[in-house]
Amino acid sequence: MNFLIRDGFLPATSSPQFKPMLAPLEVRDPMDPRIGHLIGLWFHRAWCLRGIASVLPHDDARRALFERIARLHVRTGLEQMFDSGYGGAHWLASFALLALSE
């Protein structure tokens, strides 16, 4: 059995522990030079969730949820990436490509 699809690998999608994964974190200060790390986190989450979704059975409800969350994280990251200044823009493209890759 693939370890990624075992119950318990991630918290249940209906649990309070999973709730922070449902949406990207709020950017409170877009001028913060460290904001690139938050955007990188969105891309990394998207990449990982898409990878997990790809190995789940097609009828597993988590698959569609993980793909939807991944799209949201990628869209939010792309919207903010170019406003992050050099502090993020010089390296975020590599994370964006990973998040967008099949």
The predicted-structure confidence for 44-64, as pLDDT tens digits, reads as follows 999 999 999 999 999 999 999
The model's confidence at residue 85, banded by pLDDT at 50, 70 and 90, is confident
Residue 1, pLDDT score: 43
pTM equals: 0.83
Task: Place 66 in a pLDDT band, splitting at 50, 70 and 90.
Answer: very high
Q: What are the extents of the domains in the chain?
A: 44-102
| Position 87 confidence tier, pLDDT thresholds 50, 70, 90 | low
DSSP characters for the chain? Answer: --GGGSTTSS--TTSTTTGGGSSPPP-S-TT-TTHHHHHHHHHHHHHHHHHHHHHS-TT-HHHHHHHHHHHHHHHHHHHHHTTS-HHHHHHHHHHHHHHH--
